[in-house]
Structure 1
Amino acid sequence: MPSSPSSSAQEARLAVAARLREIMLDAGLQGQELAGLCGWNGAKTSRIINAKTAPSDSDIRAWCAACGADDQATDLIAASRAVDSMYVEWRRLTRTGLRRLQESAVPLYERTRHFRAYSSRVVPGVLQTEAYATALLATVADFRRTPNDVADAVKARLARSRVIRTGNHRFAILVEESVLYYRLGSVETMAEQLVHLRTAMSLPAVSLGVIPFTAQRTMWPTETFNIFDDVQAGVELLSAQVTVTSPSEIGLYVRAFDRFKDLAVHGRQARALISRAISSLG
C-alpha cells in the first residue's frame, strides 16, 4: 500500500508548485524579483515553490500577472483547489452534520460503473440497513461531535445506495469476517443486517466476498477503501477522507483488492459464514 495515504495530495501540491516555478523561469525571473513584483517577501516565494505553503487564488493570480502569464491562472487555481479536496479532515467535512456528506457522494456513485469496496471495519454503506446505518452514524456523530442530523443522513445514505438496483453498475464488495461480528446497534439490528447481506448476494449487480478468519494471509487487513472505476480511490482514515487520483497509487489499491479477492470466499461458503455469525447472536 502507499507509504502515506496523503501522498496523492502531496504529489499534486508538488505539481502545482513545479508549474509556478516554470512560469517564473520562463519569464526570466528569480524568486526575489518575483516577490518584489508581487509585493511579498522572498521567503513566501520559496515556500510556494517548495510546496511548503499552498498558494491562495490571489497568490496565483499575482504570480501569473507578474510573469505575463495571466492566461494560465485559471487552470492553476483549479488545480490548486483540487489538491484541497484530496486530503480532507472529517471535522471539516462534517462541521454541518453528516447528511451533506452522504449527498455529496451521489454524483460519484451514479457515474461509477465498476465499484470495488474493501472493508475491515463495518458493512459497506451500499449494503447497510436503515437500523445498522442509524447505529453507525449515531456513533460517528457522537465521536466526531458533529451536529445531530443522523436521521436525515441515514435517509440520504439509503437513497444513495439505490444505485445497486438501478443503472449499469457492478459492485464487487469484500469484507473481513470480523465485520460480521462487530456489533453496532442491538442484537436485532445486527441480525437484520446480516440477513440483508445474505439476501444482497443474489442481486445481479452485487458480488459479495467474505475473507475468513482462517485465510492464509497474503495481504494484511488495511484501512477501508473504495475504488471508483480505475480513476479514483477513496480511503477512510480515522482523521480524514483521502481521495487518490494518481494512477500509480490507484494501481496499488487495485492490486491490494485483487489479493483480498483471492483470500475471500463467495457464494455458498460466504453464506455459511454469514449464517454462522447470525447464529452467534443467539
Structure 2
Amino acid sequence: MSTDHQQGRVALGARLRELRTEADLSGRALAGQLGWVQSKVSKLETGRQTPSPADLDAWASATGSPGAAVELRARLRGLETQYRSWNRQLSGGHRERQEAAVLETRRTQVVRAFESARIPGLLQTADYARHMLAAGCEFIGSPRDTEDAVRTRIRRQEALYDAGRRFHFLVWEAALYVTIGPPEVMAAQLDRLVGLLGLDTVDLGIIPLGSAPRRTPAHGFWIYDERLVIVETINAELWLDSPADIALYRKAWDWLAESAVTGHQAHRLIGRAGASLTPR
C-alpha cells in the first residue's frame, strides 16, 4: 500500500475517533450500537482498515453527526482515487475496468508504457488477452466475463490507428518468453508485435536481457500525457496524478528507454523468442 494512501487512511481514522469522542461514546459502546465487534472500531480509528461508505454513514448516524457523512465519504473517495483494490474494481468482472482503460486512452494524446513480464494490453492479440484475463479472474476470484472483457480490450486498440496520438512502449525482453497460453498463442502474439514495428503511431522498444539500465525495472507502469500514472500491483492499482509522482515515473521511463533497442534490432529479439517456442 502506498504511504500517501496509508497516511490518508490514518487521517480518516482520526476524524472518526474525533466524532466518537465528541459524542462521549467509548469504542465498546459505539460497537454495540452498530452491531460490530469492538476490534473493527479500533482498526478503523487507527487506519488499519479501510471503511466502506456504509460504515461511514453508520458511524456518522451513531455519533449524532449525520451531516458528517458527506465529509467522510469525500475523504474516502480521495483515498480510492489513488488506491483501487482489485477486489473492489473487479467485483463485477473485468469488463468495467477495460471500459475505464478505453476512456483514459481516448483522453490521452501520448501514452508511455513499460511492462517487464507481459505484453502491454494495447498490443495484445485476442487470444493472448483471453488467457491473461481468465488467469486474472481465477487469481482474484472475480466473476468470469472474459469474452466481454476481451472485446473491450481489443476495441481500445482502435486508438493505435489514430494519427493524432502517439504510443511509446518499452518491454523487457523476458516478457517475450513468458508463455501465456499454448505456443500457437505466443507465436501469434509475437507476430503481432513484429507487425506493429512499422506503425507510425507506435514506438516499440525491447530492453535486452543483457542490458544494464540505469533504472532497474521494478514493476510495470503507464503514463498518460503528463497528467496520470497508473501502476499495477498484485492487490491494487495506484492512480498517481501529483506532478512529483508523474515526473519521477517519466524519469524512470526515460532511463529505461536508454537501454532499449528498436527497429530491426527489436525485430531480431522478437524473432529469437519466436524461434524458441516448442510444441507442448
TM-score range, shorter chain: 0.7 to 0.9
Deviation at 1:80, TM superposition (A): 3.3
Tell me which of 240, 247, 250 is aligned to 2:243.
Answer: 247
2-structure distance, mates of 1:167, 1:40? 59
SS in 2 for 1:182: coil
1-structure distance, mates of 2:127, 2:262? 25
2-structure distance, mates of 1:175, 1:110? 22
Aligned partner letter, 2:183:
V
Tell me the TM-score normalized by structure 1.
0.78
- Structure 1: gaps of 5 or more residues: 25-29
1-structure distance, mates of 2:127, 2:137? 15
Deviation at 1:243, TM superposition (A): 1.5
- Is 1:196 the counterpart of 2:192 in the alignment? yes
Q: Which residue of 2 aligns with 1:164?
A: 160
Q: Which residue of 2 aligns with 1:10?
A: 6
Identify if the C-alpha distance between structure 1 residues 48 and 153 changes in structure 2 by more than 3 Å, giving closer, same or farther: closer
Q: Indicate if the aligned counterparts of 2:213 and 2:255 stay in contact, CA closer than 8 A.
A: no
- Is 1:144 the counterpart of 2:140 in the alignment? yes
Identify if the C-alpha distance between structure 1 residues 184 and 78 changes in structure 2 by more than 3 Å, giving closer, same or farther: same
Q: Which moved more, 1:72-81 or 1:155-164?
A: 72-81
When the two structures are aligned, how many residues end up with a matched partner?
A: 267
Deviation at 1:145, TM superposition (A): 2.3
Deviation at 1:14, TM superposition (A): 6.7
Aligned partner letter, 1:109:
T
Q: Which residue of 2 aligns with 1:186?
A: 182
SS in 2 for 1:264: coil
Q: Which residue of 2 aligns with 1:27?
A: none
Percent of pairs identical after alignment?
34
Equivalent residues in 2 for 1:1-282, closer than 5 Å: 6-10=2-6, 12-13=8-9, 32-33=21-22, 58=57, 77-166=73-162, 168-281=164-277
Q: Indicate if the aligned counterparts of 1:85 and 1:243 stay in contact, CA closer than 8 A.
A: yes
SS in 1 for 2:255: helix
Deviation at 1:143, TM superposition (A): 2.1
Aligned partner letter, 2:87:
R
2-structure distance, mates of 1:75, 1:6? 23
Q: Which moved more, 1:205-214 or 1:222-231?
A: 222-231
Aligned partner letter, 1:187:
P
SS in 1 for 2:159: helix
Aligned partner letter, 1:136:
M
Deviation at 1:61, TM superposition (A): 7.8
Note the alpha carbon deviations across 1:213-256, whole angstroms, 9 max, x for none: 11023221211111111221111111211212232222221111
Deviation at 1:123, TM superposition (A): 0.2
Identify if the C-alpha distance between structure 1 residues 35 and 274 changes in structure 2 by more than 3 Å, giving closer, same or farther: farther
Deviation at 1:198, TM superposition (A): 1.1
Identify if the C-alpha distance between structure 1 residues 101 and 9 changes in structure 2 by more than 3 Å, giving closer, same or farther: same
Tell me the TM-score normalized by structure 2.
0.79
Identify if the C-alpha distance between structure 1 residues 159 and 35 changes in structure 2 by more than 3 Å, giving closer, same or farther: farther
SS in 2 for 1:202: coil
1-structure distance, mates of 2:22, 2:135? 54
SS in 2 for 1:116: strand
Identify if the C-alpha distance between structure 1 residues 273 and 53 changes in structure 2 by more than 3 Å, giving closer, same or farther: closer
Deviation at 1:7, TM superposition (A): 2.7
- Structure 2: gaps of 5 or more residues: 32-39
